């Protein structure tokens, strides 16, 4: 479903991806994992055509994203559902109107059918009773579930989840995990999940990529990654603070910076 070949991308002179290549098989759940700041969300933005690579190719269902015309890119995006990291709900719309928004923008369904579809999706995430609430009245976990309903409302071929488990209580977490798995098993949707939650994603992912230093440092099933010989992969999978991947962002020596008077 997705092919990335030799991807290079930088921000303000800092290399984010340096020759990154990967494949996302159709109808499977593929996870992108790795330390914070390694560009996992940036990779989703590249896949959806929000930004363009400096070099390399990104193909979604055989279409090279960076070369598409604006209408063609919008047509491709209509086949995608995106769960944003911050939920990105429209603050002046009710929960119902947030989920209905893609239907009203991209279809000509009668209002009665729009209502049925929206309430069905909200029921799926356990929030049909919250349809009249405003985003300001929702908890962080509830907002995430509304955003998930909106991502699913057009029944897309490809679902992209950016940190879908953040802010969820254990019950909601279990529900979202089952929902992601069910979308693939029952509907044949292709899913890409960006997550730091190693334990949770290991329960549902068919295949995982660990990204660090602009490259893929590990790839395989969750079980294979747990048994990896790579110190970098083992550090991430076990959550160790000390290892090849530094905790601190690159900076001058601490003592030197404290003593230079703020120069």
Q: Quote the pLDDT of residue 11.
A: 87
Q: How many domains would you assign to the chain?
A: 1
Given this model, what pLDDT does residue 20 score? 92
In a 13 Å sphere around the CA of 16, the CA atoms on its Cβ side amount to 21
Q: Please report, for the domain that includes residue 196, its CATH number.
A: 3.40.50.300
Q: Residue 191: what pLDDT?
A: 93
For residues 190 and 26, give the distance between their C-alpha atoms in angstroms, rounded to a whole number: 5
Say if strands 55-60 and 2-11 run parallel, antiparallel, or are unpaired. antiparallel
Q: What is the pTM of this model?
A: 0.83
For residue 68, the model assigns a pLDDT of 94
Dist CA 113 CA 110 (whole Å): 5
First to last CA, the chain: 51
Note the pLDDT tens digit of each residue in 181-237: 888 888 889 999 998 778 888 888 999 998 888 888 888 998 888 787 777 777 766
Distance (Å, rounded) from C-alpha 152 to C-alpha 83?
9
Give the relative orientation of helices 170-187 and 140-152 as an angle to the nearest 10 degrees: 10
The partner residues of 158 in beta bridges, in order of sequence, read 80, 190
- 262 inside domain: no
The pLDDT score that the predictor gives to residue 244 is 55
- Is residue 163 a part of any domain in this protein? yes
Asked which of 93-97, 207-211, 255-259 is least confident by mean pLDDT, the reply is 255-259
Region 89-107: mean pLDDT is 95
Q: Which pLDDT score is estimated for 241? A: 53
pLDDT of residue 238: 65
Per the domain annotation, does 256 fall within a domain?
Answer: no
pLDDT for residue 262 is more than 90: no
| pLDDT tens per residue across span 111-146 | 999 999 999 999 988 899 999 999 999 988 889 889
The CA-CA-CA angle for residues 155, 173, 236, to 5°, reads: 105
pLDDT at 29: 94
The Cα–Cα gap between 84 and 261 comes to 41
- Scan for tokens 């995990």, then name that residue: 177
236 in any annotated domain: no
Beta bridge partners of 218: 210
Look at the alpha carbons of 93, 135, 89, 149 in this order and tell me if their dihedral is positive or negative. Answer: negative
For 40-88, write each residue's pLDDT tens digit: 899 999 999 999 999 999 999 999 999 999 999 999 999 999 998 888 9
CA–CA distances in Å: residue 81 to residues 44, 48, 141, 193, 232: 12, 10, 19, 12, 32
Name the residue among 175, 81, 86, 93 with its Cα closest to residue 127: 175
232 falls within a domain: no
Q: Give the β-pairing of 207-212 and 215-220.
A: antiparallel
- 260 falls within a domain: no
Do the domain assignments include residue 241? Answer: no
Cα–Cα distance list, 206 to 17, 86, 110, 165, 256 (Å):
24, 25, 38, 17, 47
**Least-confidence region, from 92-101, 114-123, 159-168, 247-256:** 247-256
Residue 151 lies in a domain: yes
Domain extent, residue 11, equals 2-224
């Amino acid at each position: 479903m997705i092919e990335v070949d030799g991807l290079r991308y930088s921000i303000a002179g800092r290399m984010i991806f340096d020759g990154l290549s990967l494949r996302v098989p159709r109808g499977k759940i593929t996870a992108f994992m790795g330390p914070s700041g390694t560009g996992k969300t940036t990779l989703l933005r590249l896949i959806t055509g929000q930004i363009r690579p400096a070099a390399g190719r990104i193909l979604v269902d055989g279409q090279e994203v960076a070369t598409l015309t604006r209408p063609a890119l919008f047509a491709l995006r209509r086949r995608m559902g995106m769960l944003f990291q911050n939920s990105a709900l429209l603050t002046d719309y009710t929960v119902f109107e947030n989920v209905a928004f893609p239907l009203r923008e991209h279809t000509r369904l009668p209002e009665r059918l729009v209502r049925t579809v929206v309430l069905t999706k909200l029921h799926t995430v356990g929030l049909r009773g919250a349809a009249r609430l405003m985003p300001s009245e929702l908890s962080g976990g509830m907002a995430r579930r509304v955003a998930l309903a909106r991502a699913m409302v057009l029944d897309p071929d490809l679902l992209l989840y950016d940190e879908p488990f953040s802010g969820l209580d254990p019950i909601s977490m279990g529900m979202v995990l089952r929902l992601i798995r069910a979308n693939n098993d029952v509907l044949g949707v292709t899913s890409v999940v960006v997550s730091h939650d190693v334990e949770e994603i290991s329960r549902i992912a068919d295949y995982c990529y660990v990204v660090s230093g602009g490259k893929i440092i590990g790839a395989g099933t969750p079980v294979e990654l747990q048994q990896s010989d790579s110190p970098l992969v083992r550090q991430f999978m076990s959550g160790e603070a000390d290892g090849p991947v530094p905790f601190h962002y690159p900076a001058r020596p601490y003592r030197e910076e404290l003593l230079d008077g703020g120069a």
